[in-house]
Amino acid sequence: MNTGLTYICAALFLHVSIIYTKGANHMKSSKKFSILIADDEAFECRALEIILQDSFSNIELLPSVYNGTELLQSGEKECPDIIITDINMPGLNGLDAIEILRKKFVQSRVIINTAYSEFDYARKAIALGASSFLVKPLEKELFLKEIVKVMKEIERERTLEKKALADTDSFRKILDVAGKEVISSVILGKSNEEELHIWLEHMGHTYWGGVFVVARVSGDFSLQELKRIADRILRDYCTFVTKIYTDMLILFFFPGERVGHSNYESWIATLLSRLTDAMEEEDRDRVRFGVGRWRYDYEEMTEAYQEAVSALDTQKQDAIGYFETNLHFFRVEQSSFKLTDNLVSALRAQNMEGCRALLIRQIALWERTGSTDNQITVVLSLIIQRCSRQICGHNIFSWHQIRAKLLSVSTAEEITETILACFQNLLQIEDLGNNRVCYVKDALAFIEENYERDISLEETAAKQGLSSFYLSRLLTQWLQTSFVELLTSARINKAIELIQEDDAKAKNLSARVGFQSPAYFYKVFKKNTGMTVGEMREFLTKPVA
């Protein structure tokens, strides 16, 4: 774990940001208090103005208004610190005007100065947050006392606002440092997904994958200037973090759920176009960008960063270079489903020679299309497990078991014989109906129904009235695998189903298949299938290249 980032994330958790909203009423730069007087009697307004001017040097008297409509207009425009208003005025009365101003988020302190002493008026004034309710004729000492009280309240509020602003600025600095630590941890190959999510949470963003972009500049244009423009221009479009590292500016983008491997290039092109448009014309030809592939699995981000550097190093003329992969993909689902159906038909007819011919022909076809050994191993593992489910209703093979068998051989003929041996075992288990095989099938059913829970060998055995030792021996004897490997395979197969659905990129994929730790899930998935989650998604869903 990155110790520096851990301390920063802890600071983010402990930080308490106090925000006081005054609507349109911004904090005043000076210590003066702006005051608006509203009364339909001009002499009353003038009398209050004289009292205030004689008693206070730290006030700014706004032009008095003489009806509720003018109060509404001036109050919304000026957002005074204090409003002193009568109730009964032509057109709109004072309380109604204040009520409308409150709805417009004008949070001025209000002192009611009226000849009406009815309780209903006082109750409404209190409901609107009035600081004082004074009854005419005005008592000067009481009036001044209320003004001083309100001024002290405003001063306290200003102090808190200033502190909140300072706290917010400090918080932003902490976030900025934490973001740079996120990049540093990826560069060093020590990325930690939990810490990334802490940072993104405080940025108000949900993780849906990321893209690395690196840039170099030439001539008089500097990396610092490019960073300054990027931080200013791109903030409105997405969540990202920047860091100058050696001779490059690194930009780590977090696009959101609408961007994935199929459209990230056009999305990045639009962003970088906005960035270069904000530069001086002569500087635009002095910047070159390298873009790595979009990745969802955070553990792959170090590789994504390296791809971006590679793209930058290899592109010569274009302003933007994208990393290109030499992998060839084929329509896995179409070929595997068709082959599975044909193999199941041959198996049910006990036609092993037919299975052999189908396998040899299909493996040779995949090899001619340039498919890698790992791709062929993955698709054959999927096919073997699908055949198992169709023949006996359960998957009797584990990913670890099949992968180990297939990787131990090399030629198409050897691969075919290995798969036929698996099919022989499958048919043998299906033909036998003794109690021991029934126990095995019941255990498989329990695993497949409860894979998302933290189930154990002991719980599975107890459901059938068996000891855990006896059930473990049955699984080893008949399936040549363990309970843990079967449970892991059930979870991986469910994850593969989810990967191919529209919501497969949901950040809680690991939890949905029974893993508490996303990092551990990614590690187990890669170990058992030979692919990361992102590679599997691309492999199963990307059309022919």
Q: Is residue 421 situated within a structural domain?
A: yes
Q: Which residues contact 231 (CB under 8 A, 6 or more apart)?
A: 242
255 and 112 in a single domain? The answer is no
489 and 441 in a single domain? The answer is yes
From residue 37, give the alpha-carbon distance in Å to each of 98, 106, 507.
Answer: 13, 16, 56
pLDDT tens track for 375-421: 889 989 999 999 999 998 999 999 999 999 999 998 989 999 999 99
Q: Is residue 195 situated within a structural domain?
A: no
- Per-residue model confidence (pLDDT) at position 462: 95
- Per-residue model confidence (pLDDT) at position 164: 66
| DSSP symbols for 141-205 | HHHHHHHHHHHHHHHHHHHHHHHHHHHHHHHHHHHHHHHHHHHHHHHTT---HHHHHHHHHHTT-
CATH number of residue 124's parent domain: 3.40.50.2300
Structural domain ending residue among the three candidates 159, 194, 213: 159
- Domain range spanning residue 482? 332-541
Q: How many domains does the chain have?
A: 3
Instruction: Assess contact for 81 and 33: CB atoms under 8 A.
Output: yes
- Per-residue model confidence (pLDDT) at position 237: 87
141 and 254 in a single domain? The answer is no
314 and 341 in a single domain? The answer is no
Helices (H) then strands (E): counts for the chain: 22, 10
- Per-residue model confidence (pLDDT) at position 23: 35
- Per-residue model confidence (pLDDT) at position 189: 76
In tens digits, the chain (545 residues) has pLDDT values of 455 555 455 444 444 333 333 333 333 334 689 999 999 999 999 999 999 999 999 999 999 999 999 999 999 999 999 999 999 898 898 899 999 998 888 989 999 988 877 777 777 887 888 888 888 888 999 999 999 999 999 998 888 877 665 556 666 677 777 878 888 888 887 777 777 877 888 777 888 889 999 999 988 889 999 999 999 999 888 889 999 988 999 999 998 878 887 788 999 999 999 999 998 888 888 899 999 988 887 778 888 888 888 888 877 667 888 886 434 444 444 556 778 889 999 999 999 999 999 999 888 877 776 677 888 899 899 999 999 999 989 999 999 999 999 999 989 899 999 999 999 999 988 876 678 889 999 999 999 999 999 999 999 999 999 999 999 999 999 999 999 999 999 999 999 888 877 554 445 788 889 988 877 888 899 889 988 887 787 777 654 43
pLDDT tens track for 124-165: 887 888 888 888 888 999 999 999 999 999 998 888 877 665
80 and 111 in a single domain? The answer is yes
340 and 445 in a single domain? The answer is yes
CATH number of residue 211's parent domain: 3.30.70.270
- Per-residue model confidence (pLDDT) at position 171: 66
- Per-residue model confidence (pLDDT) at position 507: 54
| CA 146 from centroid of its chain's CA atoms | 50
Structural domain ending residue among the three candidates 289, 322, 355: 322
Q: Enter the pTM of the model.
A: 0.49
Q: What is the 3-state secondary structure (H, E, C) of 296-349?
A: CCHHHHHHHHHHHHHHHHHCCCCCEEECCCCCCCCCHHHHHHHHHHHHHHHHHC
End-to-end Cα separation, the chain, in angstroms:
38
340 and 311 in a single domain? The answer is no
- Per-residue model confidence (pLDDT) at position 205: 81
- Per-residue model confidence (pLDDT) at position 178: 80
CA–CA separation, 113 vs 280, rounded Å? 59
- Per-residue model confidence (pLDDT) at position 336: 65
341 and 486 in a single domain? The answer is yes
